[in-house]
A and B are shown apart, each in its own frame.
Chain A
Amino acid sequence: MRSLLATLALSTALTFPGLALARPVTLTTTLNTYGGDGAYLALYVTDASGAYVGSLWMAGGKSKYYEHLRDWYRATGGDQGQIDGITGASVGAGRRLEITLDLADAVFDAGYTLHVDAAVEDMRDSPNEVAVPLTTKGAGMPVAGRRYIANFRYDL
């Protein structure tokens, strides 16, 4: 269900020229035991110039807290339309978030970067926890986050 929704949203959110082939990609985010409440996470993609392209997932249901995902919020202006249908629950400390979605082949090895912003109630905001270039070679390589994310990886 989750991957289906994500696919639907991506076909509208991420439009790439020459989109022909798509492949299922699994995004796995594992959190530290940072000793706080559930973390809000925003997963989104920027292009080679750093401009926002689209959102992949929003973990956390209450829009009033989105401003704490500072980079995502700044890039989108908090636009709920960006995450319609790709919103889930916040992720508890020590838990893992796994999302499968169909991403266009054209996204890989083309200078795109996947970002994760994180925020936890009463703790520091952590925009840009993870910034990982989307390359076919980088698939399956865990990347450490800055504060809340133990590691992040994407598998093709």
Chain B
Amino acid sequence: MLRRLHRWPGLVALALVTILGLSGAALSVFPAAERIAAPQAEPGLTVATLADRIKAAYQGVEQIRRAPSGRITAYWFDQGAPGAAVIDPATGQGVVSADPSTAERWLTNLHRSLFLGDRGRIAMAAGAAAMLVLSLFGVAMVARRVGGWRHWFARARGPLAGRLHVEIARIAVAGLVLSSATALWMTASTFDLVPDGAAMPFFPAEVSGETGAAPGRMPVLRQTPVAELRELSFPYPGDATDVLTLSTDRGTGYLDQGTGALLAWADPTGWERVTETVYMLHTGQGAATLGVVLGLMALGVPAMGATGVLVWLAGGRGRPRIRGNAPAGRAETILLVGSEGGSTWGFAATLHAALTEAGQSVHVGPMSGFAPERHAGAERIILLAATYGEGAAPASAKGFLDRLRTLDRAPDIPLAVLGFGDRSFPAYCAFARAVAQAAKARAWPELLPLDTIDRQSPQDFARWGRGLGEALGIGLDLSHEPALPATERLTLVSRRDYGAEVQAPTAILRFALPRMTLWQRLVGAGFARFQAGDLIGILPEGSAVPRLYSLASARRDGFVEIVVSKHPGGLCSGQLTALEPGDTVTAFLRRNPGFRPGRGRAPLILIGAGTGIGPLAGITRGNARRRPIHLFFGMRHPESDFLYGEDVPAWQDERRLTRLVTAISRGARPHYVQDALRGDAVQIAQLVRDGTRVMVCGGRDMAAGVADALAEILAPSGLTPAVLKAEGRYVEDVY
């Protein structure tokens, strides 16, 4: 709901808020420039003295105005010709022309009305209202995403567009709320919707009839400092019934031109003061620094518009149409989906199609519509559940857990839960886990144990599908690839082989960079920009499901490198390990922003086993800044599968690698990386306390073992892997 309330006003108002933001940012410069350029009055200068000085310079002065910036302008008539100038209060002489800048006027009219008069003003007010709504719902979404207000400035994770959107928003949102709310007030004021009209004193019925008193003699003007002045108007020459009109911060009054006596006075109303404050906050006139800050924040609007559209395009391919959805009451299999951005619906559609093909009747619906009493004919319930932010229910699963808790007893229809998530988040599949736990607590029969899909991995999904097929006694082949990106042909240039002696044939495959179009180079699309740790999707012959491998090279290495071990019966690994130089494969690049060494000079602890060494070797090779790197590498036997073993001495000589610790699993005393970590506990604890970043790459079991070992090692210092993850100092790439 929140997301929808944020998205639609955002897209509809995108053009308007972009114009508002850009023109507002440009306008914010003017008050500051005026403040700097305007000659300021000396402290203690009174209006009386100022008026005398100006009158000496310009006999026919009619009006003196002081802007909140301190700029003083005088208007006069000299022998029938009008004149105006910005005044230096020290001399009373004009310094520059007083005409408003054309650029400022043009921008102002664009900003408030698109040059369309009242209709344009209303449109722009609608834009401001949209910005306010967007800001408020956006704030609620950020709070939900980062897991509460206390974490407002916590590191954002996930794809770049969404991260940028949040990063900009949490800084700019305060300014945008202020600017849009004050804009609405100003529009209301322009259209007389707030009673903030100027309070004018009644014009005096009687004046002295004398003329010619010098302003410098008038007591009221002598008591009014220039800092409070807004406007002083002189009477018409020759009209003895006219008066001087004085406006200050404290009100407006009339002075007798012959005696200088105060004839009438009116204080501004409360409404008037509110509008003046709002005007100052919105325009920065009288608060130039604030204006510039607001202007900078307004620049975030187009950036957020662009990233917001990218987020929407990425997530919004959305919920696919389910063909032949069986009614809930008659289906044998009930698929309930908890999806936030829509990608989980794609998996549900694939599963629905495969099960239907296998002769099942299947109903697909959102988890929020969970109603076990409606599933009379159901033999199994399968939940496909994503997670929102730090463990919250995704949009289409709202209320599921509450509903489950209110049931007297769990349904006796067997349940399988499949979680979807991203391992770079500390709360990986947390909602699915919570659901599985709640089901277990209510003794809901289990069809399959909880399983998880990392970053929409088609392999994970296919593997889980085989398990489901076995449980149902049917062959189930799930091939799901959410919107395949554009692929390239990569040509193998060299290979290095390892591990044959330990029954783990593994190869380091090096491919030439594909030829790139100018456009790809310009925008960094595809293979035009990648780093070690990004992913490459390989489409093997005979399958539409790509396999993801971690890249062991960066773009500036000038080649694409991966480490592949041959799995018995593995289609893709079999084809890859059979490649000879000159052969080609079909591949695409997928970025993996969650698995990066990050900037800075803090040491790195890199932990990997088997083919997991690939991205870690790539990071080490690219360590041109000589950051201290401690590499923990698990292998079977150093004589056989010591991947990159020949490169290590050179890396150490060049100080790209500080230390290498190996763990050998084949031998009299099997030794794994987690054991190697424990053996080095003191130094690791010290490094982590000093701000080191930990990167783990390899199989699932190894990663779990490493997390346990680190938990033990860090326990005395009060740190946990979860805390490090939350700080972004512990990242995993696990398969």
Q: Interface on A for B, CB 8 Å cutoff?
A: 35-37, 61-64, 67, 70, 73-74, 77-78, 89, 122-126, 128, 146-147
A124–B197 touching, CB < 8 Å = no
B198 at the binding interface (Cβ < 8 Å): yes
CB interface residues, B 179-207, toward A, < 8 Å:
189-192, 196-198, 200, 202-203
| CA of A36 to CA of B108, assembled, Å | 12
Contact A147 to B82, CB < 8 A, known contacts A37-B105, A62-B192: yes
B233 at the binding interface (Cβ < 8 Å): yes
Which residues of A are found within 8 Å of B102, using beta-carbon distances? Answer: 35
B114 at the binding interface (Cβ < 8 Å): no
Give 7 CB contacts A-B under 8 Å.
Answer: A36-B99, A36-B100, A61-B118, A63-B192, A122-B105, A124-B84, A146-B82
A136 nearest CB across to chain B (Å)? 27
| CA of A16 to CA of B118, assembled, Å | 37
B565 at the binding interface (Cβ < 8 Å): no
B203 closest partner in A (C-beta): A74
Which residues of A are found within 8 Å of B99, using beta-carbon distances? Answer: 35-36, 123
B105–A124 touching, CB < 8 Å = no
A146–B77 touching, CB < 8 Å = yes
A85 nearest CB across to chain B (Å)? 17
A127 closest partner in B (C-beta): B236
| CA of A63 to CA of B197, assembled, Å | 9
| CA of A74 to CA of B82, assembled, Å | 22
B105–A73 touching, CB < 8 Å = no
| CA of A123 to CA of B84, assembled, Å | 9
A124–B75 touching, CB < 8 Å = yes
> Which of the residues B63, B109, B197, B236 comes within 8 Å of A125, measured between beta carbons?
B63
| CA of A62 to CA of B191, assembled, Å | 7
A95 nearest CB across to chain B (Å)? 14
> Which of the residues B82, B196, B233 comes within 8 Å of A70, measured between beta carbons?
B233
Contact A64 to B189, CB < 8 A, known contacts A36-B100, A70-B233: yes
Contact A123 to B100, CB < 8 A, known contacts A63-B197, A64-B197, A146-B82: yes
A78–B190 touching, CB < 8 Å = no
| CA of A122 to CA of B99, assembled, Å | 9
* Number of A-B pairs, beta carbon distance below 8 Å: 49
Q: For chain A, what secondary structure do more than half of its interface residues adopt (helix, strand, loop), or is it mixed?
A: loop
| CA of A22 to CA of B80, assembled, Å | 36
> Which of the residues A61, A63, A124, A128 comes within 8 Å of B82, measured between beta carbons?
A124
| CA of A74 to CA of B198, assembled, Å | 13
| CA of A73 to CA of B197, assembled, Å | 13
A78–B84 touching, CB < 8 Å = no
B105 nearest CB across to chain A (Å)? 7
B75–A67 touching, CB < 8 Å = no
| CA of A74 to CA of B207, assembled, Å | 15
**Residue of A37, A62, A77, A122 contacting most chain B CB atoms (<10 Å):** A122
| CA of A63 to CA of B678, assembled, Å | 80
A128 closest partner in B (C-beta): B236
> Which of the residues A62, A73, A77, A123 comes within 8 Å of B190, measured between beta carbons?
A62
A71 closest partner in B (C-beta): B236
B100–A122 touching, CB < 8 Å = yes
**Residue of B102, B192, B198, B203 contacting most chain A CB atoms (<10 Å):** B198
B200–A73 touching, CB < 8 Å = yes
Which residues of B are found within 8 Å of A64, using beta-carbon distances? Answer: 189-190, 192, 196-198
Which residues of A are found within 8 Å of B236, using beta-carbon distances? Answer: 128
Contact A67 to B100, CB < 8 A, known contacts A62-B192, A74-B203, A128-B236: no
Which residues of A are found within 8 Å of B200, using beta-carbon distances? Answer: 67, 73, 77-78
| CA of A64 to CA of B63, assembled, Å | 20
> Which of the residues A36, A63, A70 comes within 8 Å of B105, measured between beta carbons?
A36
| CA of A124 to CA of B65, assembled, Å | 9
| CA of A62 to CA of B118, assembled, Å | 10
Which residues of A are found within 8 Å of B191, using beta-carbon distances? Answer: 62
Which residues of A are found within 8 Å of B84, using beta-carbon distances? Answer: 124
Which residues of A are found within 8 Å of B75, using beta-carbon distances? Answer: 124
| CA of A125 to CA of B231, assembled, Å | 11
Which residues of B are found within 8 Å of A74, using beta-carbon distances? Answer: 203
| CA of A36 to CA of B77, assembled, Å | 19
Beyond the given A67-B200, A70-B233, A122-B105, please list 18 additional residue pairs across the A-B interface where CB-CB is below 8 A. Answer: A36-B99, A37-B109, A62-B191, A62-B192, A63-B197, A64-B196, A64-B197, A64-B198, A67-B198, A77-B200, A78-B200, A122-B100, A123-B99, A123-B100, A124-B63, A124-B75, A124-B82, A128-B236
A74 closest partner in B (C-beta): B203
Which residues of B are found within 8 Å of A35, using beta-carbon distances? Answer: 99, 102
| CA of A126 to CA of B233, assembled, Å | 11
| CA of A126 to CA of B236, assembled, Å | 12
| CA of A75 to CA of B62, assembled, Å | 19
| CA of A61 to CA of B192, assembled, Å | 11
| CA of A113 to CA of B576, assembled, Å | 99
Which residues of B are found within 8 Å of A146, using beta-carbon distances? Answer: 77, 80, 82
Which residues of B are found within 8 Å of A122, using beta-carbon distances? Answer: 100, 105
A130 nearest CB across to chain B (Å)? 14
The contact string, 1 if C-beta is below 8 Å from chain A, for chain B 543-580, is 00000000000000000000000000000000000000
| CA of A67 to CA of B231, assembled, Å | 13
A90 closest partner in B (C-beta): B117
Which residues of B are found within 8 Å of A63, using beta-carbon distances? Answer: 192, 197
B80 closest partner in A (C-beta): A146
| CA of A136 to CA of B168, assembled, Å | 69
Which residues of A are found within 8 Å of B80, using beta-carbon distances? Answer: 146
| CA of A36 to CA of B104, assembled, Å | 11
B60 nearest CB across to chain A (Å)? 11
| CA of A122 to CA of B118, assembled, Å | 19
| CA of A123 to CA of B75, assembled, Å | 9
| CA of A63 to CA of B198, assembled, Å | 11
A148 closest partner in B (C-beta): B82
| CA of A128 to CA of B238, assembled, Å | 14
CB interface residues, B 306-343, toward A, < 8 Å:
none
The contact string, 1 if C-beta is below 8 Å from chain A, for chain B 78-110, is 001010100000000000000110100100010
| CA of A134 to CA of B258, assembled, Å | 32
B607 nearest CB across to chain A (Å)? 66
| CA of A3 to CA of B350, assembled, Å | 73
B240 nearest CB across to chain A (Å)? 12
| CA of A117 to CA of B82, assembled, Å | 15
B78 nearest CB across to chain A (Å)? 12
Shortest 7 CB-CB distances between A and B: which pairs? A124-B75, A147-B82, A122-B100, A67-B198, A74-B203, A64-B197, A63-B192
Which residues of B are found within 8 Å of A125, using beta-carbon distances? Answer: 63, 233
Which residues of A are found within 8 Å of B62, using beta-carbon distances? Answer: 124
Which residues of B are found within 8 Å of A67, using beta-carbon distances? Answer: 197-198, 200
| CA of A147 to CA of B63, assembled, Å | 14
Which residues of A are found within 8 Å of B105, using beta-carbon distances? Answer: 36-37, 122
